[in-house]
Structure 1
Amino acid sequence: MADKENWAVAITVFLTSLLVGQADIITEAPVGQLFVYELHREVFQREFEPFHTVYEHIYNDPLVFKCNKERFPDLPRWLRFTQRDPYDNGFLYGTPLPEDQGRNIIQIFVTNRRSYVDVIKERLVINVGPAVKQMPYQAEFFLELRDIEKVLPSVVQEDIKSDIKKLWDTEKLEFVNITSALDRGGRVPLPLAGYFEGVYVKLGSDKPFSECMLRTLTPEHERKCAAGGKMPGECNTCFYPINCITWCKTVLFDLSKPIPPARVPTVGSGILEWGGEFNPPDSPPERDFFPDYIITIIIPFVIAVILCLILAYVMCCRREGVVKRNTTTPDVQLYHHHTIQGNFNELRRMAGRDRSTADRPPIFSLSLASDTLI
Structure 2
Amino acid sequence: MADKRSWALAITVCVAGFLWVQADSITETPAGQMFVYELHREIFQSEFEPLHKLFGHIYNDPMVFKCNKERFPDLPRWLRFTQRDPYENGFLYGTPLPQDQGKNIIEIFVTNKRSYDTFRERLVINVGPPVKQFPYQAEFFIELREIEKVLPAVVQEEIKRDIQHLWGTGNLEFVNITSALDRGGRVPLPLPGYFEGVYVKLGSDRPFSKCMQRLQTTAHQRECESGGKLTGDCSTCTNPANCISWCRSELFDLSKPVPPAPVPKVGSGVLEWGGEFSPPESPPDRDFFPDYIVTVIVPFALALILCVLLAYIMCCRREGVVKRNAKTTDLQLYHHHTIQGNANELRRMAGNDRQNVDRPRQCLQPLLMAEQPMAGR
TM-score bucket (shorter structure): 0.7 to 0.9
Aligned residues: 339
Q: Deviations over 1:153-197 (max 9, x none)?
A: 111111110000011111111101011122122222222333222
Deviates more, 1:181-190 or 1:309-318: 309-318
Q: Deviations over 1:287-307 (max 9, x none)?
A: 443333333333233333443
Letter in 2 for 1:260: P
Q: Deviations over 1:206-243 (max 9, x none)?
A: 22221112222333333333333565467222222322
Distance 2:362 2:23 in 1: 100
Match of 1:103 in 2: 103
Distance 1:153 1:363 in 2: 104
Are the aligned partners of 2:348 and 2:357 in contact in 1 as well (CA < 8 Å)?
A: no
Q: CA shift at 1:33, angstroms?
A: 0.8
SS in 2 for 1:261: coil
Larger Rg belongs to: 2
Distance 2:104 2:228 in 1: 45
Are the aligned partners of 1:49 and 1:58 in contact in 2 as well (CA < 8 Å)?
A: no
Deviates more, 1:49-58 or 1:289-298: 49-58
Are the aligned partners of 1:145 and 1:196 in contact in 2 as well (CA < 8 Å)?
A: yes
Letter in 1 for 2:188: P
Q: CA RMSD in A?
A: 3.7
Question: Percent identity, aligned pairs only?
Answer: 70
Match of 2:84 in 1: 84
Match of 1:224 in 2: 223
Match of 1:11 in 2: none
Residue 208, structure 1, aligned to residue 207, structure 2? yes
Match of 1:301 in 2: 300
User: Structure 1 residues 126, 338: closer, same or farther in 2, change over 3 A?
Assistant: farther
Listed as ranges, the matches of 1:169-180 within 5 Å are 169-180=168-179
Distance 1:290 1:304 in 2: 20
User: Structure 1 residues 331, 54: closer, same or farther in 2, change over 3 A?
Assistant: farther
Deviates more, 1:281-290 or 1:242-251: 281-290
Are the aligned partners of 1:343 and 1:366 in contact in 2 as well (CA < 8 Å)?
A: no
Match of 1:145 in 2: 144
Within the candidate set 323, 335, 338, 1:335 is matched to 338
User: Structure 1 residues 24, 346: closer, same or farther in 2, change over 3 A?
Assistant: farther
Are the aligned partners of 1:168 and 1:210 in contact in 2 as well (CA < 8 Å)?
A: yes
SS in 2 for 1:301: helix
User: Structure 1 residues 51, 278: closer, same or farther in 2, change over 3 A?
Assistant: same
Match of 1:13 in 2: none
Q: Deviations over 1:90-144 (max 9, x none)?
A: 21111111121122222222233456x3333222222222222222221111112
User: Structure 1 residues 128, 230: closer, same or farther in 2, change over 3 A?
Assistant: farther
Q: CA shift at 1:345, angstroms?
A: 8.8
Give TM-score scaled by structure 2 length: 0.75
User: Structure 1 residues 96, 150: closer, same or farther in 2, change over 3 A?
Assistant: same
User: Structure 1 residues 298, 170: closer, same or farther in 2, change over 3 A?
Assistant: same
Are the aligned partners of 1:343 and 1:365 in contact in 2 as well (CA < 8 Å)?
A: no
Listed as ranges, the matches of 1:154-169 within 5 Å are 154-169=153-168
Distance 2:282 2:74 in 1: 60
Q: CA shift at 1:64, angstroms?
A: 2.3
SS in 1 for 2:220: helix
Unaligned runs of 5+ in 2: 1-18, 364-377
Q: Deviations over 1:258-314 (max 9, x none)?
A: 333322223344455666777766665544433333333332333334434444555
Are the aligned partners of 1:231 and 1:246 in contact in 2 as well (CA < 8 Å)?
A: no
Distance 1:255 1:272 in 2: 42
Unaligned runs of 5+ in 1: 1-18, 351-357, 369-374
Listed as ranges, the matches of 1:92-131 within 5 Å are 92-114=92-114, 117-131=116-130
Match of 1:74 in 2: 74
Are the aligned partners of 2:109 and 2:119 in contact in 1 as well (CA < 8 Å)?
A: yes
Letter in 2 for 1:258: P
Match of 2:42 in 1: 42
Are the aligned partners of 2:214 and 2:232 in contact in 1 as well (CA < 8 Å)?
A: no
User: Structure 1 residues 26, 286: closer, same or farther in 2, change over 3 A?
Assistant: same
Letter in 1 for 2:291: D
User: Structure 1 residues 269, 48: closer, same or farther in 2, change over 3 A?
Assistant: closer
Distance 1:185 1:26 in 2: 34
SS in 2 for 1:170: coil
User: Structure 1 residues 359, 96: closer, same or farther in 2, change over 3 A?
Assistant: farther
Listed as ranges, the matches of 1:264-343 within 5 Å are 264-270=263-269, 285-312=284-311, 330-340=333-343, 343=346
